[in-house]
């Protein structure tokens, strides 16, 4: 079975893109949990935060540069970055992604 986010990164499944370069794609979440909710993914397949190592840490750092750049360009100063790792933590798509949520009050600790 194919990977949903690999298919989105390849352009085989359409997405509402916010940002794209050769390594990273950012696109709006199909089921937004805040007025602004987009996902930042590496185009290469990494399972989750639990699979980050020396071989792929550069692309993860790049994801965070993209988060900073895109939020700045959207005029967003207050936002939350979330990455669910594993089923119990709420991960439903097994391809590393960072949720960027903004535009409403957020609670802490998370549920
Ligand atoms: P997670 O549950 O943390 O693994 O996050 C997966 C996210 O992907 C969820 O917030 C979904 O709403 C979102 N999602 C699933 N399919 C799509 C899609 N085709 N386009 C955009 N977002 C999607
Ligand atoms: Zn994938």
Q: 20-77: per-residue pLDDT in tens?
A: 999 999 999 999 999 999 999 999 999 999 999 999 999 999 999 999 999 999 999 9
Phi and psi (nearest 5°) for 70? -70, -45
For residue 83 and ligand 1, the question of a CB distance below 6 A is answered with: no
Which positions are catalytic?
Answer: 97
> Is residue 1's pLDDT more than 80?
no
Rg of the chain in Å (alpha carbons): 13
> 31 alpha carbon to ligand 1 midpoint, in Å?
7
Give the contacts of 33 (CB within 8 A, at least 6 positions apart).
99, 101
Give the closest residue (by CA) to ligand 1 atom 15. 30
Helix-strand-coil percent breakdown of the chain, rounded to 5?
Answer: 30, 20, 50
Find out whether 38 and 29 touch, Cβ atoms under 8 Å: yes
pTM of the model: 0.98
Helices vs strands, H then E, count in the chain: 2, 5
Question: Closest ligand to 95 CA?
Answer: 2
3-state secondary structure of 44: coil
* Per-residue model confidence (pLDDT) at position 35: 98
Tokens of 103: 């535009």
* Ligand 2 center to 66 CA (angstroms): 19
């Amino acid at each position: 079975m194919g990977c949903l986010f690999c298919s989105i990164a390849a352009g085989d499944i359409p997405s509402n893109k916010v940002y794209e370069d050769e390594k990273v794609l950012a696109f709006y979440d199909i089921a937004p949990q805040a007025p602004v909710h987009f996902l930042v993914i590496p185009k290469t397949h990494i399972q989750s935060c639990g699979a980050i190592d020396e071989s792929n840490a550069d692309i993860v750092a790049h994801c965070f540069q993209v988060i900073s750049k895109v939020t700045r360009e959207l005029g967003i100063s207050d936002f939350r970055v979330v990455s669910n790792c594993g089923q119990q933590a709420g991960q439903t798509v097994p391809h590393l992604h960072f949720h960027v949520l903004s535009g409403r009050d957020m609670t802490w600790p998370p549920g």
